[in-house]
Amino acid sequence: MSEKRFIEQRLEIEQRDLADGTKAEYIVGKGIVFNTWSQVLTMETREGHRIQFIEKIEPTAIEGVDLSNVVSMVNHKLTLGKRSKGTMDVDISADAVHYSVKIPNTTLGNDTREDVQNGNLEGSSFQFKLAPKGDIWDKSSIPYKRTITKFAAITEMGPVNYPAYLDTTAAMRSLEEFEQEQRTDDEGDFEKRLQRLTRKYNYYKTKK
């Protein structure tokens, strides 16, 4: 299941020289930011209880992820560019994943340029899938803290004019799996302790 996140970082318009001697305009933004805690997010349990959490992304989460088919969309709806077609590029730095998309000479392209310039597009959003056991939860404080350590896929990043609706169903499922693993580990530790005590008891009983 995919999740979406909003990055409130200013978008820029850059003019670049192309290999054929012409110029082109690009929209440039940060699609993913590393090591920065998010705003407070809310998820709902199966029983209807609301749980708040914040999350951050480790730089290693992007390692090994295939970004060749990433697309750039406006508000997750209209395709602006595709990396596979050479109209979008992605660059990974120490603090973020940056994207740039060539502005097409279309109604969508011209409208998007205008919206970036006048500030209607307030930031970027990206869509991702988490790898199995790709996050760590810390429940010692409120809000909970979620650290994303590994993505399975990054499918899209692009400009948006409002924070995307955050479907945190996948995050809730991840937390439930994390809690189940902890319970299993705790039960395993208890069983091991019980076995040690049983062996110890039997040892002393035999000596008597």
Average pLDDT of 164-173? Answer: 62
Give the Cα separation of 127 and 6 in Å (integer). 9
- Least confident residue range of 48-62, 154-168, 176-190: 176-190
Q: Give the sheet arrangement for strand 71-74, strand by strand.
A: 3-7, 123-130, 151-160, 71-74, 78-82
pLDDT of residue 131: 96
Amino acid identity of residue 121, one-letter, is L
Q: Residue 30 has which token pair?
A: 């940060």
pLDDT of residue 168: 57
pLDDT of residue 34: 96
| Sole residue written with tokens 């091991």 | 192
Q: Is residue 191 over pLDDT 90?
A: no
Burial of 14 (0-12, 13-18, 19+ CB in 10 A): exposed
Give yes or no for a contact between 156 and 199, defined as CB atoms under 8 angstroms apart: no
Model confidence at 26, pLDDT cuts 50, 70, 90, reads: very high
Q: Check residues 173 and 33 and name the one with the higher pLDDT.
A: 33
pLDDT of residue 48: 82
Model confidence at 163, pLDDT cuts 50, 70, 90, reads: low
Average pLDDT of 200-204? Answer: 53
Model confidence at 203, pLDDT cuts 50, 70, 90, reads: very low
Give the Cα separation of 144 and 19 in Å (integer). 49
The structure's pTM equals 0.80
Tens of pLDDT, residue by residue over 172-181, are 777 888 788 8
